[in-house]
Amino acid sequence: MTNSGGAVGTVTGALFINVAPGSVSIKDNLFRPVQGGRATINLTTFDAGRVTARLYTVAGAFVATLFDADVPKGGTQFQWNGSNSAGAPVASGLYLLRVTGPKIHVTEKIVVVK
């Protein structure tokens, strides 16, 4: 066990409970931003904490940070309108959304079609 002060010790006969990781789902992960489409990302966390969602090209180039905030446990939702970090529309293609947070390390695909 590790306490809040960082001290580590062994407790015999203790019960260990591992809380399930959160989940990420994308609604409309194939969308047309030129026609007003958006990708809606639904995030569920079972622990409160900082969540970051960054978008990259398949080649690994950074596109935009879509979400970066402390969230309570439960559900959170955010959207992507097809723009990069400068606000310019991205090219058609496949993008990778990397979401990190309390027990969450997920990569999902989003396809933009012009």
Residue from 26, 7, 21, 85 nearest 49 by CA: 21
What tens digit of pLDDT does each residue of 67-89 get? 999 999 999 999 999 999 999 99
Q: pLDDT at position 19, please?
A: 66
Phi, psi (5° rounding) for residue 83? -105, 155
Q: What is the DSSP letter of 30?
A: E
Exposure of 35 in the CB half-sphere (CA atoms within 13 A): 8
What tens digit of pLDDT does each residue of 7-18 get? 877 777 767 677
Exposure of 76 in the CB half-sphere (CA atoms within 13 A): 25
Domains defined for the chain, CATH in brackets? 23-112 (2.60.40.4070)
Q: Above 70 in pLDDT, residue 105?
A: yes
User: What does the mean pLDDT of the chain come to?
Assistant: 89
Average pLDDT in the 24-36 region?
85
For residues 48 and 71, give the distance between their C-alpha atoms in angstroms, rounded to a whole number.
6
Q: pLDDT at position 75, please?
A: 92
